[in-house]
Amino acid sequence: MRLTQKQALALWREALSASVRRDAPDLSARQMAILLAIYTGDPPHTVRGLAADLAIAKPAVTRALDRLAALGFVRRRKDAADRRNVLVERTVKGAVYLSEFARLVIAAGRGLGSG
């Protein structure tokens, strides 16, 4: 199915609206983009790699990871092979958050045909 611009924005709006109505943390667009990169991309993930993949500054990635780690959505640990690197790992809590968000997107997609 190919979406029009209006349909794509309606889908995004509906999913976001449903997301803010639920009892879950609100993430910024940057935090969500980083979380999605971690969960949909192949590990290992590093601050440097995430910054390069998303074309944003490393300090911006670090700030977003601070919030995501505080929420329990990601975990950081030193790379045993290179102690200068910090690896960013997935958590069950982060996987559950994104799974629930995916369900909201799916539900919003089902509503496109009626609008």
10 Å CB burial of residue 94 (0-12, 13-18, 19+) is buried
State pLDDT tens for residues 22-61: 989 999 999 999 999 999 999 999 999 999 999 999 999 9
Task: Say if CB 66 and CB 73 are below 8 A apart.
Answer: no
Percent of residues, the chain, with pLDDT higher than 90: 81
State pLDDT tens for residues 60-69: 999 999 999 9
* pLDDT, the chain, mean: 93
pLDDT at 113: 64
pLDDT at 105: 94
Assigned CATH for 5-114: 1.10.10.10
Structure tokens at 83: 């102690």
* DSSP label at residue 4: P
pLDDT at 99: 96
- Predicted confidence (pLDDT) at residue 114 exceeds the cutoff of 90: no
- Predicted confidence (pLDDT) at residue 73 exceeds the cutoff of 60: yes
